[in-house]
Chain A
Amino acid sequence: MKRLWNRFGPVITVVFGIIVLWYVMAVALNSAWTIDKLGRTGGELSVVEHIADTWSQDKPKLPAPHQVVAEIWKTTVQKSITSKRSLIYHAWITLSATLAGFGLGTVLGILLAVGIVHNKAMNLSVMPWVIASQTIPILAIAPMIIVVLNAIGVTGLLPKAIISMYLSFFPVVVGMVKGFRSPDQMQLDQMRTWYASKWQTFWKLRWPSSMPYLFTSLKIGVAAALVGTIVAELPTGAVRGLGARLLAGSYYGQTIQIWSALLMAASLAAGLVAIVSLVERFTLRRMGMLR
C-alpha cells in the first residue's frame, strides 16, 4: 500500500490539484454568462446555485471536467464506433495517420542519420537542412502540402501522414546521429583490429549502441507525429479526425466538444509514449543496458 502510494501518490496529488484549479477557473470564466443571463431574465441565485450554473452551461467558456467526461462518455461508449459522432472513430482516423507518419518519419530519420554518419558530404550538407526544415511553421506548410498532393491525386491518409512524418523525423535524425556516434574510440579501434567492414561495424556496434538514443527520439517523435496529424486535419476542411472535431467545435462554439477532442488527443499521445517506453524498457533490459 505504502509502495503504491509512493509510486502514484505524487501523480494523483497533481491531478487532483489540476481538477480543483479547473473547477475554480470554470466558475471564474463562466460567471459572466450566468450574470448576463440573470440580468435578462431577472431573479436571484444563491451562491451555490450560481456556481452550479457555471458548471452546467451549454456553451461555457471553460467547460467543467465532469461536462467533458460526460461528453467523452456519450461520444465513445454510447456511440457505435462507425458513427461519425463517435470520438473513437475520429481518434482512429487520427491515430492511423499518426502511426503511418511516425513509421515513415522513423525510417527517414534513421536513413538520414546513417548517411550523415557514414558520408562526409552528407555530414556537412544535410544537417543544416534538417534543422531549417523545423524552423518553418508547420501550420504554414501543411495546407500547401495537402493542396499539392491533392492536385496530383494523393488524398486521404497519406498527405496527413507526410505532414506527421515532417515533424517526427527530426528528433530521430538528431538522436540517431548521436547514437551512431556513441561508440568510443576504443570500440572503433577494436573493430579496426579485426578488420571489420563499415557494414559490420554498423550492425554489430553502432546500431546496438544507439538503442537508448533511438527510444528517447521515438518518444519525442511519436508525440510530434500526433501533433503533425492534428495540424494536418485543421486547415484543410477535413471532416474526419480529431483535428476536424477541434475545428468543427470552434466553428459552432462547442467548447465541450473541443475539450473532449483535446483530452482524447492528449490521452492518445500519452498512450503512444507509454507504449514506446514499455518497448524501451523491455528492449534495453534484454540488452543489458538498463541496470
Chain B
Amino acid sequence: MSSEVVIKAEHLSLTFETNDGPVHALQDVNLEIKRGEFVSFIGPSGCGKTTFLRVMADLEQPTGGSICVNGMTPAEARKARAYGYVFQAAGLYPWRTIGGNIRLPLEIMGIPKAEQAERVAKVLKLVHLEGFEKKFPWQLSGGMQQRASIARALAFDADLLLMDEPFGALDEIVRDHLNEQLLELWAETNKTICFVTHSIPEAVYLSTKIVVMSPRPGRVTDVIESTLPRERPLDIRETQEFLDIAHRVREGLRAGHGDE
C-alpha cells in the first residue's frame, strides 16, 4: 500500500448559523487518510460525521481550517469527478432501468456510448447484479437497489468512494452480506473508501481506520488503526482482536459523551 495522502483536514471547522444561534457541526478536525484505506466515521447523530463527508464532497462549505481532497480543494475535486458518493437512500430513478441509472453519471460526464456500455457491464459484475441491467428499480429488493447505487458511484471509476450510511435502512442479514461484498469490492478495486455508520460492528468489520466522533461541537475523539488483517471472513467478528477494537470504539464514544 502506498502512503500517499488522499484526504488531509487541518483545523477544519464548520458552523451553521441557525435561528437558535450557531451550531458547531465540526470543530478543529484534523485527519489524514491515505490511499487505499477504508475509513469509518462513527458517532452519535449530530457528531458531524455526515457533515465531514459532505465537506469532502463540496456539498458543504467549511467555515474554518483547510481540507485537501486528492491534493485539490473539494470544489476542484468535484469538478474533476474525483469521488463517487453513495447516499443513505439508493435514489435510483424509477423511469430508468438499472443499466440506465448506472449510465446516468456517465452520460452527464459525456463518456462515449460504447464505453458507457462497457463500464456498466463491469460495475454490475462488481456488485453481483449481472443480468439485472434491463430491470427497473421497483423490480429489485432494497439491498439490490443499494448495490445498484454503489455500482453507479463506481461507474466513473473515481479513486475515492464516499458512503453515507449506505446500509442504514437495510435489515441486518442483508447488511452483513453487503458488508462482505463491499470488502471484496474494496480489495478488487483498491479504492479509498470513507464510510459513515452508527454501527460499531460494521465499523470494526470494514475499516482499516476508525474515526470516532462526538457531538456538540462535532469533533474527532479517537482515531483507531485496525490491527485486523485485510482479508476478513464474517466470523472474524467473534475473535478477541475484533472485540478489543470494538471495545475501544465503545470507550471512545462514551468518552465523547462524558463531558456533556
Q: Are A204 and B107 in contact (CB under 8 A)?
A: yes
Q: Are A190 and B136 in contact (CB under 8 A)?
A: no
Complex Cα spacing A220 to B93, Å: 27
Q: Are B104 and A204 in contact (CB under 8 A)?
A: yes
Q: How far is the CB of A180 from chain B (nearest CB, A)?
A: 15
Instruction: Kindly identify which residue among B84, B91, B108 contacts A204, using a CB–CB cutoff of 8 Å.
Output: B108
Q: Mark A156-196, 1 if CB is under 8 A from B, else 0.
A: 00000000000000000000000000000011011111111
B57 touches A (CB below 8 Å): yes
- B54 nearest in chain A by CB position: A189
Interface size on A, residues (CB 8 A): 19
Residues of chain B contacted by A286 (CB below 8 angstroms): 95
Residues of chain A contacted by B104 (CB below 8 angstroms): 194, 204
Chain A interface helix/strand/loop/mixed: helix
Complex Cα spacing A205 to B136, Å: 17
Q: Are B109 and A193 in contact (CB under 8 A)?
A: no
Q: Are B59 and A194 in contact (CB under 8 A)?
A: no
Complex Cα spacing A288 to B93, Å: 9
Instruction: Kindly identify which residue among A192, A200, A205, A288 contacts B78, using a CB–CB cutoff of 8 Å.
Output: A192
Complex Cα spacing A157 to B178, Å: 63
Complex Cα spacing A288 to B108, Å: 22
**8 Å CB interface, B180-209 against A:** none
Q: Are B108 and A200 in contact (CB under 8 A)?
A: yes
Q: How far is the CB of A283 from chain B (nearest CB, A)?
A: 10
Q: Are B94 and A287 in contact (CB under 8 A)?
A: yes
Q: Are B87 and A208 in contact (CB under 8 A)?
A: no
Q: How far is the CB of A209 from chain B (nearest CB, A)?
A: 8
**8 Å CB interface, B88-128 against A:** 88-89, 91, 93-95, 104-105, 107-109
Q: Are B59 and A288 in contact (CB under 8 A)?
A: no
- A286 nearest in chain B by CB position: B95
Complex Cα spacing A187 to B109, Å: 17
Q: Are B95 and A187 in contact (CB under 8 A)?
A: no
Q: Mark B130-142, 1 if CB is under 8 A from A, else 0.
A: 0000001110000
Instruction: Kindly identify which residue among A187, A287, A288 contacts B91, using a CB–CB cutoff of 8 Å.
Output: A187
Complex Cα spacing A283 to B59, Å: 34
Residues of chain B contacted by A195 (CB below 8 angstroms): 78-79, 81, 108-109
Q: How far is the CB of A287 from chain B (nearest CB, A)?
A: 4
- A187 nearest in chain B by CB position: B91
Residues of chain A contacted by B156 (CB below 8 angstroms): 194
Complex Cα spacing A193 to B89, Å: 15
Q: Are B89 and A189 in contact (CB under 8 A)?
A: no
For the complex of A and B, list the 3 residue pairs with the smallest distance between their C-beta atoms, beginning with the closest. A287-B95, A288-B94, A193-B85
